Amino acid sequence: MLFRYVRLAVSVPLIMLLSGCTQDAQNELGRSIQNWTGTDGVLDIYAGEKLVQRFIKIDKLTTPREADTQQLRPYRFGYGHNDTNFNFQVDADERRTYFEIGTNGSNYVFYENTKN
């Protein structure tokens, strides 16, 4: 019985604290948790069944919002290394770069790198 009261006493202030945070603060909190857990994303882009582009070492894909209406825009962006030889490793000639991909009709897969 005491455990229920302790759990309630901890849960209620935590919920109130998080609900009082701005969206930016919540995003920053989520981002810090994501960075703490670590990410090593891979983005594969296909033309039909053929792999044509790969980006590695991506921490996240972002879908931007329009400033006035807050509607989601029809693309995603991020930063990653262009893996030109598809070996899942950052080679000397492969630089970190900004990229955008359309969400309308683009064939892509975003996943965590389990090769390394």
Q: Per-residue pLDDT averaged across 18-43, rounded?
A: 58
Q: What is the pLDDT of residue 56?
A: 93
Q: Indicate if the pLDDT at residue 26 is higher than 90.
A: no
How many Cβ atoms are within 10 Å of 28's Cβ, its own excluded?
A: 12
Q: What does residue 70 show for φ and ψ, rounded to 5 degrees?
A: 65, 15
- Look at residue 100 and tell me whether its pLDDT is greater than 80: yes
What lies within 8 Å, CB to CB, of 84 at 6+ separation is 91, 93, 94
Tell me: pLDDT of 36 over 50.
no
Taking all residues of the chain, what is their mean pLDDT, rounded to a whole number? 76
Confidence of residue 102 (pLDDT cuts 50, 70, 90): confident
Greater confidence (62 vs 55) lies with: 55
DSSP SS3 for 32: helix
Residue 109: per-residue pLDDT: 86
Residue-range domain boundaries for the chain: 1-38, 39-116
Is residue 83 predicted with pLDDT exceeding 90?
yes
* pTM of the full structure: 0.63
CB 63 within 8 A of CB 76: yes
* Contact status, residue 97 vs residue 81, Cβ threshold 8 Å: yes
- What pLDDT is recorded for position 4? 56
